[in-house]
Amino acid sequence: MPKKEKPKAPPKKGLKYQKLYIQALPSASMYEKSYMHRKVVTHLAVTKTEFILTGAEDGHLKFWKKLPSGIEFVKHFISHVAPITSLAVSSDGLYAASASKDKTLKIYDVINFDMITIIDLGFVPSDCCWVHQSSAKKPTIAIASAHEDAPYIYIYDILQNERTPENITKPLEILKDIHRDPVILIKYNQAYNTVISIDRKGRIEYWDAEPASEHAFPANAVQFKYKTSTDLYEFCKVGTVPTSLEISKDGKLFATMGADRNVRIFQFETGKLYRVYCESLEVFKSNQKEASSNVGSHKLDALDDIDFGRRMAIENQLDKAWAANKAPPSNVIFDESGNFVLYTSMLGIKLVNIVKNKLVNIIGKVENSERFLSIALFQGKTRGSVATGTFVAKGEEDPTVFSTAFNKNRFYLFSKREPPQDQDADMQAGRDVYNEKPTQDEIRSLPKKMKEDRIALSAILRTTFGDIHITLFGDKCPKTVENFTQLAKNNYYNGVIFHRVIKSFMIQTGDPLGDGTGGTSIWGKDFEDEFHPSLRHDVPFTVSMANANAPNTNGSQFFITTIPCPNLDNKHTVFGRVTKGMEVVSQIERVSTDKSAGKNKPWEDIKIINVDVNFHH
């Protein structure tokens, strides 16, 4: 659970109406829907005007409209020819901007979902933010340069497009004296009309957004004169840098996620640290060890040991990607009340009551195939559809967290609703919507009706102990069933033994080596998990994929349970159920085995003679 490193008395000992605040936030344990980009999704933004913007590493940007339930696609922009570095929306929700390594800034009219201005920067931008009040007649935007020798902040009037002799857009102002190193994060605090900027050395600066002030230090907005009396040198002291920056709606707090995996929340007026939550891997390891030993009280943080190992493997991959700047950072966001923060971790999306200093919920904890990264929150009331032009006066509340995930070309929606349990085989009816043309790898995962000769409806395992009839779920896990079907058709399982048998648990087979170390898929490599909300290990005689105790390591091995095993849910892909021949499974389960070194291998070989697959009802 979040660890408080710097004790400080909160302004209130309790929080009134906590239940109401929590009811106004998403709470589902699984994501309800996901939508595609062609490439990995790297940026998300939610506007006050009920639009969601998503950007991908190929420079493409998509607009979506929030509906009373879910979202609808609005428009697709091929905005840039290089990766997006920053995506910003104005505080009034009327404008958006995308900055890119192609040295351009594109400006959008959100309400009319139109690109209205292209600003040629002449430098690679690191971050940008709108720096005008909601009532301002002249929208202005600040862009930080990533240039080593010119770590300046440029301010542009988006309605002006005057050019320099070098044919780049002329800025209103160039702020050269605020930072000595390139700025990596910049955010506008509308409540105080002040900008917070942070450079790559971890130095935090406040400056007035009003041009008439010459962007001086906002002495009238804060309660300190010198930064030495604050905690604004925190990142310099600990030798790390923040990777995200967000400001609460009332402007009184701002939060950062650090490269050291620490969440730090500062009080804006005093510059003092208010909360620090350590999310380092060492903390997770310690909590897991305590939970496994039944010591302590880390119930929300606890995982099954196998699941924990799988997630740690992903975290190690993520650390390497972050070090190489090949993955977007995690971030911290506030809810509308400013009493809660949400941020991503290896366990899911954490919801923390910062007044009571308490972990309230972990959203998406069971989704162990996705490592969620950047998030954005919608908490308003939706009032209609762009497609139909229908609007209502009051609207409906549908709080939703939108999230990117590590190495995924999808973004995910978490609401208060769990995904339906009875989704049919149609792609559009499933929670993972195929709104883009599938790649070759994804084509292999299409439903049975699109590849009738590849995915069987049922199978019969003919063993030396008798026949086992299995119904296959190709509509819900097509890639897994396709793999099993084609291996069976290729006689791959012929003569393979049941190499692992554990009474009151399961029987396992599918390894041609016969020792649990072999076997490969029809693609010659491991393939990804396919978890479906309606397919659980909740009854005996469930057929499920074996793996290497890590995500997405499926090959040819599979097992049949002999008891309910809910602890295996979202760790192993369920792809079938035994419909006939349960007594054969039970007979195999009861054989004598060699239990030395945890082998659990039957003393006498029990073989699959062959597997018959059926493509018709």
| Ramachandran area for residue 168 (φ above 0: left; ψ -120 to 50: alpha; else beta) | beta
Q: Which of 37, 264, 572, 577 is catalytic?
A: 572
How many other β-carbons are positioned within 10 Å of the β-carbon of residue 266?
25
Closest by CA to 256, choosing from 270, 275, 237, 283, is: 275
Sheet holding 104-109, edge to edge: 84-89, 95-100, 104-109, 114-120
Q: Which of 409, 486, 547, 557 is catalytic?
A: 547
Beta bridge partners of 238: none
Q: Which of 190, 483, 508, 570 is catalytic?
A: 508
Contact 553, 369 (CB under 8 A): no
- The DSSP secondary structure of 422-477, one letter per residue, reads ---S-GGGSSB---S---HHHHTTS-GGG-TTTS-SEEEEEETTEEEEEEE-TTTS
Beta bridge partners of 472: 576
Q: Is 547 a catalytic residue?
A: yes
Contacts with 549 (C-beta within 8 Å, 6 or more apart), sequence order: 306, 309, 310
Query: How far apart are the C-alpha atoms of 88 and 101, rounded to whole Å?
Result: 15
Query: With 0-12 CB in 10 A as exposed, 13-18 as middle and 19+ as buried, what is 18?
Result: middle
Residue type, 167: N
Query: How far apart are the C-alpha atoms of 331 and 340, rounded to whole Å?
Result: 14
Query: How far apart are the C-alpha atoms of 564 and 579, rounded to whole Å?
Result: 16
Q: Is 339 helix (H, G, I), strand (E, B) or coil?
A: coil
Q: Is 486 a catalytic residue?
A: no
Q: Which of 275, 500, 532, 537 is catalytic?
A: 500
Q: Rounded to a whole number, what is the largest CA-CA distance in the chain?
A: 88
Q: Is 568 a catalytic residue?
A: yes
Q: Which of 235, 334, 559, 575 is catalytic?
A: 559
Query: How far apart are the C-alpha atoms of 127 and 85, rounded to whole Å?
Result: 7
Q: Is 268 a catalytic residue?
A: no
Q: Which of 505, 552, 614, 615 is catalytic?
A: 505
Q: Is 414 a catalytic residue?
A: no
Count of residues in the chain: 617
Residue 237: how many CA atoms within 13 Å on its side-chain side? 7
- The DSSP secondary structure of 204-237, one letter per residue, reads EEEEE--GGGTT---GGGSS-S-GGGSSTTHHHH
Q: Is 615 a catalytic residue?
A: no
Q: Is 596 helix (H, G, I), strand (E, B) or coil?
A: helix
Distance of CA 58 to the CA centre of its chain: 18
Q: Which of 568, 570, 577, 600 is catalytic?
A: 568
For 585, the enclosing helix (H) or strand (E) is helix 582-589
Q: Is 572 a catalytic residue?
A: yes
Query: How far apart are the C-alpha atoms of 362 and 9, rounded to whole Å?
Result: 25
Closest by CA to 65, choosing from 76, 57, 56, 73, is: 73
Contacts with 35 (C-beta within 8 Å, 6 or more apart), sequence order: 54, 64, 71, 73, 410, 411, 413, 433, 435
Q: Is 49 helix (H, G, I), strand (E, B) or coil?
A: coil
Residues marked active site are found at 500, 505, 508, 547, 559, 568, 572
